[in-house]
Amino acid sequence: MTENSIKKLFAEYENAFNALDVEKQVPFFAEHFISAGPRGSIVLGRDEFAKMASKAAEFYRSVGQTSAKIISMDETEISREYSMVKVHWGVTFAKTGNKLIEFDVTYFIQKTGSEPKIIMFIAHQDEERAMKELGLSG
């Protein structure tokens, strides 16, 4: 598997996240994966993730997300089978005057199948707290 497959995965994931299209986001994840952030970690199956992602997409729509894009991406190969990819995202919301809100997520990618899959992601910031600080949630 080449670096291009990682770039392709994130280009397609970016399009799905930008469109808040959960059905297109879910296949990028392994059958089971770890979601982590400042508040801890959980192991999820894709079905559980689909439910959580649907709620998150509803929330992002309700606060007026207008775009999501990858600003930069840095891949570190761990082995032939695994890579760590730090993604710097930029998201805009109508309620913040479309000001670019930036945040980082590190993804661990498994490259053992026909397509790379996300097996873990770590959010660097506390999203719930950030949304409150931006006035997007109560």
Q: What is the pLDDT of residues 58-102, one digit of tens each?
A: 988 888 899 999 999 999 999 999 999 999 999 998 888 888 889
pLDDT on residue 121: 96
The H or E element that residue 7 is part of is: helix 3-18
82 phi-psi bin (left φ>0, alpha ψ -120 to 50, beta other): beta
pLDDT on residue 82: 96
pTM of model > 0.95: no
Domains of the chain: residue spans and CATH: 3-133 (3.10.450.50)
Sign of CA dihedral 89, 92, 16, 58: positive
Look-up of token digits 């497959």? 5
Whole-angstrom Cα distance, residue 47 to residue 26?
A: 8
In terms of Cα–Cα distance, which of 68, 65, 30 is closest to 48? 30
Helices (H), the chain: 3-18, 22-25, 46-62, 127-133
Q: What is the C-alpha R_g of the chain?
A: 15
